[in-house]
Structure 1
Amino acid sequence: MIFNYRKYGSVNRLRTFILYSFVLYLLSVYFLVILPLPNPKHIHSGYKEMINIVPFTFVRDFIRKNPFVLYNPKTWIKSLKRPTFYVPVFNIAMLIPFGIYLRYYFKCNFKKTILFTLFLSLFFEMTQLSGLYFIYPGPYRLADIDDIIQNTIGGGLGYFIGWFAVRLLPSREEIDEKAMQDGLRVSQIRVCLSLMIDMLIMYIPYILLKTKIPFFVFTALYFSLIPLFNGKTIGSALLKFGIVFENLKWFRTVLRGLFLTVYFLLIPSGLLYLTNEFNKSAESLLFLIMFAITFLIYILFGLITILTVVFNKCLLFDVLSGTVYKSTVRR
C-alpha cells in the first residue's frame, strides 16, 4: 500500500487483485511441488536414482502403458484415469496461469514467457532433487526433465490464452492512469494508513525513552507541531500528501492535532475505562445497564469510524478543524 500510494497516490483494486492472486497462485504451485512432506527417517533414496534426464519418456510411457486406442471409444474414459495421461496434463495445466500473467500484466513476449517458465520449472525440479534444499537426507520426489518440458508447454499455452486477457481486461497503462487519477484525491484509507505509520513512529521512541509523560500528550504535540512546518507528518510525507487550510493555518493545525488525539486516543480509552469500571460492579442492575450502554457506545464509535473511512467521508476531527488534504504525487 505504501508503494502504491507513493507511486500513484491510490491503491487500484484490479492491480491489487492481479498481484495478490499472482502471489497466491505461485504459493499454491510451490506447495503442490513440495507437499506432502515425508518423515525424514523414511528417506533412503539417492540423488542419482531420483532424476530422469531422458526427454519425452512420458510419451513412451503413454504408448506402452495407457489403454488408449483411437478407434475404440470404450478405452477413452479408462485412459483419462491413468497417471500416464493425467500427470502430464496436470503438469501442463499447472503453469498455464503463469503464462497468462506474464503476457497480460508483465508484458512479456513469447520468448521471455518461455524462458521464465523454463526457469521456474527448473527451480521446482531442483527443489525436489535437493530434497527441499538439503533439509532431507535425499530427494523424496523424482526430478524429471519431462516435467520441465510439460511445464514449459503450459507456459507457452498460457501466453496464447493470455491474448483474451489482453483484449478483455484493462491494460496496465490504463490501470496506472486510473490509479493516478484516483490519487489526485486523498482517500480516508490513505489518511488512516499515514496515521498508523505516525503512531508507530511515535510509539517506538516513547517506549524506549520510558518517559512518564502520557502517550496522548506525546501524540497531541506530534500532530499539532510537526505539520506546522510544511503541512506534513512523517506518515503523510511517506504517502505523499499534506494538509491545507484556507486560513488560520497555525491555529487550525494545532486544533486538528488536539481533536485527532481526542478522537483516536482519549475517547476510546475513556469508554474502555468506564466499561471496565461498570463491569466491576456488575451485580448492581444500574451498573449492569451502564456497562451495556457504554460498551454499545464503544462498538458504535468503532463502526462509525470504519464506515466513515470505507465510504471516504471526512472524519470528525477533520470536519471540526476544516482540514483539506492535497496529494503531492506527480503525474
Structure 2
Amino acid sequence: MGKLPKFYDSNLLVGTESSDDAAVYRISDDLAMIQTVDFFTPIVDDPYTFGQIAAANALSDVYAMGGEPKLALNIAAFPNCLDPEILGEILRGGADKVMEAGASLAGGHTIQDDEPKYGLCVTGFVNPASMWKNIGAETGDVLILTKPLGTGILSTAVKGEMASEEETAYAASVMATLNRYARDKVADLQIHACTDVTGFGLAGHALEMAKGSGKTLCISLGSLPIMKGALDYASMGFIPAGAYRNREFAGGECEFSWKNHSGESSENFWLEKTRCEAVENETGRSETIINEAELAAREDIVFDPQTSGGLLLSIDSQDADRAISRLSSLSLPCAVIGRVINLQKKHLVFVK
C-alpha cells in the first residue's frame, strides 16, 4: 500500500494511513459509512462452520469501528472438482451469521480457483462522533481483551491431528462468535481506542494501536485469556508460519521485561502495586506464571495469528470495572490484560 498514490478527501475519515480495521466515509454530520472486505481459505473441515467463521471475521471489522453492519456481499472462490453442495453449505453458514448480525446479504461474486476461499464485503454505518479507531489510547487506560487467544496454534494442532474434538469444537465456537455482543456491552463507555485481534496477532495489532497513539502498551502475559490446549500445543511446537512473520513484524518493538536486567526501564511501575486483574480463562488459571516453559509458550501466543479474534479495548480506567462486569456475562472469557503508559523505549512491554 505504501507505493500507491495517496487519496485526499475531507470526508474520508479513515483510510490507509493508520492501518485501521476498515475504511470510513462521512455521509453527513451524524452518519458515516464503514466498508471492509475479508476472505480466506478453510481453517475447519465442516463447510457450514467455515462459512460462519469467515462471515464473523469479516463482520468484526465493522464492530471494531463501533459500527453496525447493514449490507454484505459474498466473495468466494471454488474448485470445479468439488461438490457444489459444499459451496452451498459455506454460503449458508455465512448467510446465517449475517442474519444473526441483523444485516442483509444481497448477492456477491464467485470465481473458479484451485482451493476454496470465502468471505464478505461488508458495509456498515456509525455516527462519526461515536466512531472507534485503532488510535487514540490515553495514558492510564486499561486494556481489555474480549476473546481468548490461541486459534492459530489450535488450528495447526488440528492439522497435525493432535487437537481433541472438544478443543476443536470450542475453538470453532469462539471464532464463530460475533464481536457484536462485546461491542454492545461497552458501547456507552469511554473507549479511547479499539481494534480486533486477527491475522497480525495480539502483538501486531497492539503495536498498531501503540504507534498510532504515541504510547506504550504494557501487557501482562499471565493475565491473557487463552484457549484450553493452546499453551500445551505451543510448547510442543505447533506454531503456525504466520506467528513467525508476526514476530518478525512486531518483535523489534517488543520488550519482555524479565529479559531486561539493566534496571533502566520504568514501564512496570503500575504493575508493582497492582497485578493485572484477569477473568478466569479456559485453563482455570489467572495466577502468575509458574515455569519458564509456560512463559515461553505465552510469548508465542502473543504472536499467534488469530481468526475472528476478540476486541482489544483501550478504555478509561474509571469504566474498566464496569466493562469487565458486563463482558463477563457473555459466554467467552475476557480479561484485563494491561495498561497504557507514556511512551518508553519500546511500544510494547510484556511483563510476567
**TM tier relative to shorter chain:** under 0.3
Q: Which of the pair is proportionally richer in helix?
A: 1
In our comparison, the structure showing a higher alpha carbon Rg is: 1
- Scaled by the length of structure 1, the TM-score of the pair is 0.21
Q: Which of the pair is proportionally richer in strand?
A: 2
- The higher-RCO structure (CA 8 Å, 6+ apart) is 2
- Scaled by the length of structure 2, the TM-score of the pair is 0.20
